[in-house]
Amino acid sequence: MKNPIIILHGWRVENSRYSQIKKTFEENGFKVFAPNLPGVGDEKLTKDVMKIDDYINFVLDFYKKQKIEKAILVCHSFGGRVGAKLAAKYPEKVEKLVLTGTPLIKQLLSSKKKMLIFLSGIVKKTLKLSFGETRMRKILYYLLNEWDYYKAPENIRETFKAIIAEDIAPNLSKIKTPTLIVWGEKDTFVPKSIGKQINDKIINSRYVEVENATHKLPYENPEEFAKVVLDFIK
């Protein structure tokens, strides 16, 4: 009997966005689960501020509730932080691991972001009285492409900060599970160079690149993504 597939979604991306790949996996004979992780949809945070290990515990509890002994994890973006560390700590729980667009290795800030962060400091000191600090903060978050972060509730923002503060990279060499790293060629959020570095660090892994695909590969190019994954897990 095939082990089920569990889809772990991106940061604050509801499980419904993955409905097409879920359907394709099911048509190929797999039982598929796509739970919302805490902080998404109706799923509340289990703590005021959650860390990666808290999300891992949530997934392990999900295993128990669904009577799953071992699963194939298909992880997009943030979901890969959870999946990669889970595979490193609990290899007996993961048959195969798929990572896509996952920021597991810290990136250097781009020149644009460095400049905007620098300008934000000047704004605080010189413009907040005349223009309004709150208004300037909104503009800067928008320019930094962090508008979703700005709009999120305080506990979600604090959880996000706790998550990105943790360095997952040391866990990569501990992963022995067969791993597929599939990346969008035009992913500018987490560039393909990160995917290749992850591939170098995980012993039993291979890297596949999808042409013209972006960071949203699993739901913008679901047919191509599902085909690559199915070729791997079959």
Tell me the two tokens of residue 143.
């320019």
In a domain, 127, yes or no: yes
| Contact assessment for residue 150 and residue 137, using Cβ atoms and an 8 Å cutoff | yes
Query: Exposure of 29 by Cβ count < 10 A (0-12 exposed, 13-18 middle, 19+ buried)?
Result: exposed
Which pLDDT belongs to residue 117? 46
Are 64 and 171 part of one and the same domain?
yes
In a domain, 156, yes or no: no
Which pLDDT belongs to residue 186? 97
pLDDT band at 153 (very low <50, low <70, confident <90, very high): confident
* pLDDT for residue 114 is more than 50: no
Are 33 and 67 part of one and the same domain?
yes
Looking at every residue in the chain, the average pLDDT score rounds to: 86
Query: What percent helix, strand, coil does the chain show, rounded to 5?
Result: 55, 15, 35
pLDDT band at 135 (very low <50, low <70, confident <90, very high): low
* pLDDT for residue 150 is more than 50: no
Query: Helix count (H) and strand count (E) of the chain?
Result: 10, 6
What total of structural domains would you count in the chain? 2
In a domain, 162, yes or no: no
Are 193 and 84 part of one and the same domain?
yes
In a domain, 174, yes or no: yes
Domain that holds residue 34: 5-106+167-233
* pLDDT for residue 88 is more than 80: yes
Distance CA 196, CA 172 (A): 13
User: Looking up tokens 């085909």, which residue turns up?
Assistant: 227
